[in-house]
A and B are shown apart, each in its own frame.
Chain A
Amino acid sequence: MDVDVRDGLLYTDEHEWLRVEGDSGVVGITAFAAEQLGDIVFVELPQVGRTLERAEAFGVVESVKAVSDLFAPVPGEVIEVNEALAAKPELLNSDPYGEGWIARVRIADEGATTDLKDAAAYRALIGA
């Protein structure tokens, strides 16, 4: 299977990725998830300022035929969301690791990233 999995990112079992940048992290969904969902038509973004627990549902991604919750990979405060997704939800399909980023979270607990998967482990999870 020829699915785009990026090295240097951390992954959850629910197919979110996390790019740690200092004390915050950028969150999105993987190319695998986007492909499973199909053409994405709507993203329900979290409110800036909201505090999330690890694995808490913080948003929704809707495709033509499916809907999926977004789960927080780490605990923390939402400090920025990608407003571009309101007009162009298809960025999640075309550029899930770049312009399709969903939210930036200030990571509350540095140790929280240790149970996340690295690229190799995620590839194994999806059988890539």
Chain B
Amino acid sequence: MSGDAPASGSTLPIVDRPPAHGALRPAVGPVLQPTLDELSRPGRHVTRIPHPPADALAGIPAAQLRELPPALPEVDEPDAVRHFVNLSHLNYAVDTGFYPLGSCTMKWNPKLNEWAARLPGFADLHPLAPDAAAQGTLQVLWELERWLCEISGMRGVTLQPAAGAQGELTGILMVRAYHRSRGDAERSEIIVPDSSHGTNPATASMAGYRTITVASDRRGGVDLDALRAALGPRTAAVMLTNPSTLGLFEDRVVEIVEAVHAVGALAYMDGANMNAVLGKFRPGDAGFDVMHFNTHKTFSTPHGGGGPGAGPVAVGEKLLPFLPAPRVLREADGAFRLERPEERPSSIGRVRSFVGSVGVLLRAYTYLLAHGGSGLEEVSEDAVLAANYLRHRLRGTYDIPYDRVCKHEFVASASTLKHETGIRTLDVAKRLIDHGHHPPTIYFPLIVEEALLIEPTETEALETLDDFADALLAIAAEAHADPDAVHSAPHTAPVRRLDEATAARQPDLHWRPMTGAQMPCSD
């Protein structure tokens, strides 16, 4: 780790091995844990499943069988459960505190959603069960598709994509199918603004397109002249995030979409920021041809430490024939069924197994039922109100490059702070941890130097927002008074800053194999 002199302010003991017997360590609070292989002892396991008969595998040729049983950890239930419970204490989470993460919409994850998804009627249903046995879930999916059409102003929805990025790929594959269906073989480019999320150009590449990047203008919107110059017969689509990743509504959205259509291209909207405009703006009304939602952002499904999420995609008239198959249909008698393979040959096919991450979609469904249209509008109003409030609290101390009405998020910058004190956004972020807060999104979007992208969401109390703002102001003051404390933060987390260089140069991606360290099965 270049540059940082280790200054041990942490009160936690250094634990490289399981703690020695008799060693001092706290009884409550976060404690680093050994790994499961270090807890393992031969014979220390729980028998939960009856032993199979001795000839259970007699029908299988020896060459096809494992020579040795898998060398997995043998841990009794108390040690196993304590291991995971104690590890959970090392995590920050929405259930423990506020995440001001721009672009992530870390709103509250309602507990009712967890209960709903776990109902055995939903959880125990096999995805290949006949339609007649799946009427409850099929109804949920059918209704959810309709509601998402209403929210987006679009004509049809697929619930298959397992994530926003997969939704983007699905959308762009439909764009490709559309152009090909019209014999338009020249479309080889996708245009994205320089403020776009990394998934947009990555998606374009996966679909075989070249990415053309256009600059944002000084107001933070797409530079319309630059866009017009980039648009042409090779443009397959333009991928726009609206509100943008700067938290600004693209007020020339109608002209942009018209310009895109004028060259025969399609308009894609990255819906990551829909939390700002529910009931206020519908992409379909502005002419967008396709968009995706992130249920783990706008619709409260939990982040799970990195996933799972879901990325439903909504389309207008042009792309309707190309939606992934199977869709959920409703018969005249009210029964629901899955589309049959031959019913829509223009479909791009499937983008995953089965019909979607139904457990995640159930949570979104429950969320939408709990809010209704009026509730969703209130969500956006409160999200936007809170973001503008924080923007006002921070201006004057942090740079606000686009100091005008924002939507649900805004970008601040530590540029001036860096020039005056040497303290960078990274240091501010790490010092926020010592104030009990998760940092905001940092160094994104790429077009703002020393960026802090802040999104409070609608579910944080005013006291929390003020506490967060006060912490940021205190850090700015400390940057002038005592920069070392900021530069070497965090001091109060279970671990200090990590050596990421060695982790990348000499990757250690799994514990040393335990083969040979275990007793074979006693029978």
A residues lining the B interface (CB < 8 Å): 38-39, 41-42, 62, 64, 89-90, 93
Contact = CB atoms under 8 A, between A and B. Distances in A.
Contacts of B501: 39, 41, 64, 90
19 contacts: A38-B2, A39-B1, A39-B2, A39-B500, A39-B501, A39-B504, A41-B501, A41-B504, A41-B505, A42-B504, A42-B505, A62-B504, A64-B500, A64-B501, A64-B504, A89-B505, A90-B501, A90-B505, A93-B2
* Main SS class of interface, B: helix
Contacts of B1: 39
Contacts of B2: 38-39, 93
Tell which of A39, A42, A90, A93 has the most Cβ of chain B within 10 Å.
A39
Interface string B47-67: 000000000000000000000
Closest 3 CB pairs of A and B: A39-B501, A41-B504, A64-B500
Chain B interface residue bracket vs A: under 10
Nearest to A66: B443
A89 B505 CA distance: 8
A39 B502 CA distance: 9
Interface string B1-45: 110000000000000000000000000000000000000000000
Contacts of A42: 504-505
Interface string B485-503: 0000000000000001100
A2 to B, nearest CB: 14
A63 B505 CA distance: 9
Nearest to B443: A65
A39 B2 CA distance: 7
A65 to B, nearest CB: 8
B380 to A, nearest CB: 33
A62 B505 CA distance: 10
A54 B26 CA distance: 62
Contacts of A62: 504
Nearest to A87: B505
A6 B505 CA distance: 28
A62 to B, nearest CB: 8
A119 B504 CA distance: 33
Contacts of A64: 500-501, 504
A39 B3 CA distance: 11
Given A62-B504, A64-B501, 16 more contacts: A38-B2, A39-B1, A39-B2, A39-B500, A39-B504, A41-B501, A41-B504, A41-B505, A42-B504, A42-B505, A64-B500, A64-B504, A89-B505, A90-B501, A90-B505, A93-B2
Nearest to B500: A64
A37 to B, nearest CB: 11
Contacts of A38: 2
Contacts of A39: 1-2, 500-501, 504
A38 B500 CA distance: 11
A44 to B, nearest CB: 14
Nearest to A64: B500
Contacts of B500: 39, 64
Nearest to B504: A41
A38 B501 CA distance: 9
Contacts of B504: 39, 41-42, 62, 64
A11 B282 CA distance: 51
Interface in B434-482: none
Interface in B240-277: none
A34 B179 CA distance: 43
Nearest to B501: A39
A114 to B, nearest CB: 31
B450 to A, nearest CB: 14
Nearest to B426: A65
A39 B501 CA distance: 6
A97 B505 CA distance: 21
A93 B505 CA distance: 13
Contacts of A90: 501, 505
A93 B1 CA distance: 12
A41 B500 CA distance: 9
Nearest to B2: A39
Nearest to A93: B2
A62 B500 CA distance: 13
A41 B507 CA distance: 10
A90 B505 CA distance: 9
A89 B502 CA distance: 11
B304 to A, nearest CB: 24
